């Protein structure tokens, strides 16, 4: 009988509250052990898990087939089904992702800063694990591997609550992780997948502040809103990405055209995709139509304000709602603004404080834009699609935080740590 089947068996005749408290207590105990395990043990578990995933690719595909069939029967949308479906390439990417995380430097024990005091005390600030991290996510089964591995690498225990759509796929992936933990002599409760699709488990998880230090919610707006409203556990906020690209009067028109197209169309379904294009009135007649040409050729719908439509009549009319919409689709809203200050004002009113870009050759406009806007990521002359932990060089990420406490922007392995102060003296007494 597999570990996961055993876990699932536990739910029979058990109530969800008791189940979740047992999971929480197990995670807390595992976290205490994980805080001081050697890097080699964590990496060994990750490498073994990667081997297990490759070795059990057939089982994973079979389980995923059941999930996809159930999803089709439930009438899940095409985008959701695409996120859910695994194939050989995605399974290999998942295994490779675990190896990439194993290859990252271990953040635990790293000295972030150190200094001496006049009284001879030597103070150092040392990275420690956070403790227990809860992850609540929707359809993508690969999050089970990515999130579990990132938490483990940072010395944290993980409680993973996947979407019901990916229940079978995630179960087999969890078995691969669990066997990796056991092979490396790490506590089995270091990574736990909530073994029920009962939605009450999420509510229970949000109340487990005794056992969970932080919850990372990943998913659609309604999931995030529910979690934010209910949670008694601190969250790394992951709101939607209403990202803007602003083309300044001093932009290079060719660069603006290329970057705007990439920012919208490279992948429309990611949170760093640009949803609204702002164009300075002075340059709009020169840049708008070529950009619209490119977007139309790629099948993108374009909605604009009156000034946009006056320049290019092919553009549909935008409504007020458009400025506050994360399309996650091949739709772009376009607005003509009077200079960088007006762009900043629009962004202050409509942005979700995720990522914004300015295209300009004017350093003063660039500085104003990056200094004045209160978003996690601000780019100058680059595509908003770079809003990604991997692209930042952080290795994998567990998500992108739009909150300002603890983690902001891509949440990688370092953002999943805390720190402590170690003070070494020679008998100092405070006067």
What does the binding site for a copy of itself look like in residue numbers (CB under 8 A)? 32, 35-36, 109, 115, 117, 121, 123, 128, 130-131, 213-214, 234, 252, 255, 258-259, 261-262, 266, 348, 359, 366, 370-372, 374-383, 385-386, 388, 391-393, 404-406, 408-409, 418-430
What distance lies between CA 204 and its chain's CA centroid?
Answer: 23
- Tell me the CB-side half-sphere exposure of residue 224, using CA atoms within 13 A: 17
Alpha helices in 75-220 (DSSP H): 78-84, 88-103, 142-153, 167-183, 200-206
Closest CA to 358 of 252, 238, 241: 252
* Of residues 342 and 382, the one with the C-beta less far from a copy of itself: 382
The CB-of-19 to a copy of itself minimum distance in angstroms stands at: 24
Q: Estimate the crossing angle of helix 142-153 against helix 39-55, to 10 degrees.
A: 170
Q: Using the minimum distance from each CB to a copy of itself, give the nearer residue, 154 or 318.
A: 154
C-beta closer to a copy of itself: residue 199 or 424: 424
Sign, Cα dihedral of 198, 57, 84, 236: positive
Q: Shortest distance, CB of residue 115 to a copy of itself, whole angstroms?
A: 7
* Interatomic CA distance for residues 239 and 376, integer angstroms: 12
CB of 187 to a copy of itself, least distance (A): 16
DSSP string for residues in 148-172: HHHHHHTT-EEEEE--GGGHHHHHH
Pick between residue 297 and residue 428 the one whose CB is nearest to a copy of itself: 428
Say if CB 269 and CB 326 are below 8 A apart.
Answer: no
The residue with tokens 């089982």 is 59
Instruction: Tell me the C-alpha distance between 187 and 198, whole Å.
Output: 26
Cα–Cα dist 279/259, whole Å: 13
Q: Smallest distance from the beta carbon of 6 to a copy of itself, in angstroms?
A: 29
Compute the least distance from the CB of residue 68 to a copy of itself, in Å.
Answer: 29
Compute the least distance from the CB of residue 408 to a copy of itself, in Å: 6
Least separation, in Å, of the C-beta of 21 and a copy of itself? 18
DSSP conformational letter for 371: H
| 331, β-bridge pairs | 301
Cβ closest to a copy of itself, residue 51 vs residue 258: 258
Q: Which is nearer to a copy of itself, 120 or 220 (CB)?
A: 120
Residues in the chain: 431
CB closer to a copy of itself, 113 vs 200: 113
Orientation of helix 57-74 relative to helix 39-55, angle to 10°: 70
Angle ∠(319,307,317) on CA atoms, nearest 5? 30
**What's the closest the beta carbon of residue 196 comes to a copy of itself, in angstroms?**
28
The minimum distance between CB 423 and a copy of itself, in angstroms, equals 4
C-alpha pair distances (Å), 380 with each of 39, 275, 334, 356, 375: 37, 17, 19, 9, 13
Check residue 356 and give left, alpha or beta (phi > 0: left; psi -120 to 50: alpha).
Answer: beta
Nearest to 296 by CA among 266, 321, 247, 330: 330
To a copy of itself, the closest distance from the beta carbon of 291 in angstroms equals 13
- Bridge partners of 191, per DSSP, are 158
In this complex, which beta carbon is closest to a copy of itself, that of residue 317 or of residue 421? 421
């Amino acid at each position: 009988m597999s570990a996961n089947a055993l876990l699932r068996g536990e739910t029979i005749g058990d109530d969800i509250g008791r189940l979740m408290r047992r999971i929480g207590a197990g995670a807390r105990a595992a976290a205490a052990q994980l805080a001081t395990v050697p890097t080699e043990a964590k990496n060994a578990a990750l490498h073994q898990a990667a081997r297990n995933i490759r070795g059990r690719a057939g089982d994973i595909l079979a389980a995923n087939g059941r999930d996809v069939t159930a999803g089709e029967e439930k009438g899940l949308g095409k985008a959701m089904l695409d996120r859910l479906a695994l194939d050989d390439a995605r399974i290999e990417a998942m295994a490779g992702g675990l190896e990439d995380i194993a290859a990252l430097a271990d953040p635990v024990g790293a000295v972030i800063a150190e200094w001496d005091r006049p009284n001879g005390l030597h103070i150092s600030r040392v990275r420690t694990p956070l403790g227990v991290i809860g992850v609540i996510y929707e359809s993508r089964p690969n999050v089970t591997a990515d999130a579990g591995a990132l938490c483990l690498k940072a010395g944290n225990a993980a409680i993973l609550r996947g979407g019901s759509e990916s229940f079978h796929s995630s179960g087999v992936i969890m078995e691969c992780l669990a066997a990796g933990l056991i092979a490396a002599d790490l506590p089995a409760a270091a990574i736990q997948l909530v073994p029920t699709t009962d939605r009450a488990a999420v509510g229970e998880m949000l109340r487990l502040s005794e056992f969970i230090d932080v919850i990372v919610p990943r998913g659609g707006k309604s999931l995030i809103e529910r979690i934010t409203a209910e949670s008694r556990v601190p969250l790394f906020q992951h709101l939607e990405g209403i990202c803007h690209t602003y083309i300044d009067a001093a932009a290079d028109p060719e660069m603006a055209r290329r970057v705007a197209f990439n920012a919208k169309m490279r992948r429309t379904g990611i949170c760093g995709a640009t949803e609204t294009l702002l164009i300075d009135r002075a340059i709009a007649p020169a840049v708008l139509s070529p950009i619209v040409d490119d977007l139309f050729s790629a099948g993108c719908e374009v909605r604009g304000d009156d000034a946009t439509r006056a320049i290019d009549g092919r553009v549909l009319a935008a409504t007020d709602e458009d400025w506050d919409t994360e399309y996650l689709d091949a739709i772009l809203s376009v607005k003509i603004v009077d200079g960088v200050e007006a762009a900043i004002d629009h962004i202050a009113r409509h942005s979700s404080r995720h990522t914004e870009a300015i295209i300009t050759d004017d350093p003063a406009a660039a500085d104003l834009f990056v200094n004045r806007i209160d978003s996690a990521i601000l780019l100058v002359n680059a595509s908003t699609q770079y809003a990604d932990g991997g692209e930042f060089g952080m290795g994998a990420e567990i998500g992108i935080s739009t909150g300002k406490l603890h983690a902001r922007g891509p949440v990688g392995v370092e953002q999943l740590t805390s720190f402590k102060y170690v003070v070494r003296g020679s008998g100092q007494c405070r006067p």
